[in-house]
């Protein structure tokens, strides 16, 4: 059971997440860089009493999710020297807020310049999210939620993405083991067994595409998202004793674990931790040390990284997302406007 004080924290996180989206979306206009919008979103969250639950992400046109800028503002593959918004682009902005581990996660899709080139897809994306949420009463089988999410997409002539899902939220856990389908997965699909649980929290975020494959694929390299997460699978003290980590590597690992727990974090947030142990190092040397540190921490399964994602056949991607709390009376949207 979620008590009143706990629920207030969830609602506060959802409220800040929604305010962030609503206040930052107008910054997405021709000539503005992706990086500027990402940083403004994260600063807004902090100014209004939250912390980012994950780095703010931007996904343009056929890019679906999981891209934030690094400290060098390095371009995403295929977007060299183009990470500036252009009129007519279809943009997804996804932001998450955590307050004492309670998470509000939401996203929207808009067209740069409001030229009405993507009106139907944007409408279908929003209706897909809302139709899924309407089904989320305690005890509803997940396949019915997926069916509801896909119907508006089919009706509008688009294709649901099948290999991206919503997710259950728990305190300090962005992806808490249960996936929320956004297509007609069918009652026998092994990945979507079970039912909507009362007193639970879910991020509902169906994706759709103008393409036909209904699939997203990874963008190379493996860390193309510039996002990392502490897995929680490695005991630093034991790793140090067994010489899997050197003392400096262990100390830097502790710093990452203390700062971010197991919520996703941006490379540009963490990169400055190398300034203290290497005050005289130049940028090239510090970058080399960061690359070596990350490689080592991934190899011992202390860290994991994420690919940025795009539509496998180049289709344009739409997405809207809310965080909901499931009650006896049905779903309560926490990321309300």
Domain ranges of the chain: 4-224+308-333, 227-304
What are the CA-CA distances from residue 158 to residues 61, 102, 119, 279 (Å)? Answer: 14, 34, 12, 53
| CATH number of this structure's domain 4-224+308-333 | 3.90.230.10
User: What is the per-residue pLDDT for 11?
Assistant: 98
- CB < 8 Å & 24+ apart, contacts of 282-291: 287/72
What distance in Å separates the CA atoms of residue 70 and residue 179, rounded to the nearest whole number?
28
Of 330, 337, 336, 334, nearest in space to 139 by CA: 330
* pLDDT at 1 (0 to 100): 74
Q: What is the pLDDT of residue 300?
A: 96
* pTM assigned to the model: 0.96
Other C-beta atoms lying within 10 Å of the C-beta of residue 77: 12
Query: Mean pLDDT of residues grouped by 10 in the chain (337 residues)?
Result: 92 98 97 98 98 98 98 95 95 98 98 96 98 98 98 98 97 95 95 96 98 97 97 95 95 96 97 94 95 96 97 98 97 93
| pLDDT score recorded for residue 48 | 97
What's the CATH fold of domain 227-304?
Arc Repressor Mutant, subunit A (1.10.10)
* pLDDT reported for residue 81: 82
pLDDT of residue 100: 97
The reported pLDDT for the residue numbered 337 is 73
């Amino acid at each position: 059971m979620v008590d009143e004080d706990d629920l207030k924290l969830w609602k506060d996180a959802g409220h800040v997440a929604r305010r962030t989206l609503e206040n930052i979306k107008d910054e997405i206009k021709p000539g503005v860089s992706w990086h500027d919008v990402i940083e403004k979103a994260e600063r807004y969250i902090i100014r209004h009493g939250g912390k980012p639950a994950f780095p703010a992400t931007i996904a343009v046109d056929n890019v679906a999710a999981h891209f934030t800028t690094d400290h060098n503002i390095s371009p995403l593959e295929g977007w060299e020297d183009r990470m500036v918004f252009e009129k007519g682009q279809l943009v997804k902005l996804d932001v998450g807020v955590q307050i004492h581990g309670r998470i509000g996660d939401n996203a929207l899709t808009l067209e740069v310049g409001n030229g009405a080139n993507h009106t139907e897809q944007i409408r279908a994306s929003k209706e897909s999210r809302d139709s899924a949420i309407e089904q989320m009463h305690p005890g509803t089988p997940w396949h019915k939620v997926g069916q509801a999410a896909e119907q508006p997409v089919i009706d509008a002539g688009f294709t649901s993405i099948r290999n991206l899902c919503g997710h259950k939220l728990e305190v300090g856990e962005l992806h808490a083991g249960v996936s929320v389908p956004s297509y007609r997965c069918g009652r026998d699909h092994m990945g979507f067994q079970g039912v909507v649980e009362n007193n639970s929290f879910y991020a509902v975020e169906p994706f759709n595409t103008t393409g036909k494959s209904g699939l997203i694929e990874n963008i190379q390299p493996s860390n193309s998202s510039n996002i990392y997460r502490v897995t929680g699978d490695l005991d630093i003290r034991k790793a140090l004793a067994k010489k899997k980590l050197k003392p400096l590597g262990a100390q830097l690992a502790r710093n990452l674990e203390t700062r971010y727990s197991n919520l996703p974090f941006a490379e540009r947030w963490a990169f400055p931790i190398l300034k203290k142990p290497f005050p005289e190092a130049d940028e090239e040397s510090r970058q080399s040390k960061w690359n070596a540190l990350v490689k080592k921490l991934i190899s011992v399964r202390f860290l994991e990284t994420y690919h940025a994602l795009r539509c496998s056949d180049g289709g344009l991607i739409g997405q809207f997302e809310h965080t909901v709390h499931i009650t006896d009376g049905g779903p309560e949207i926490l990321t309300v406007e």
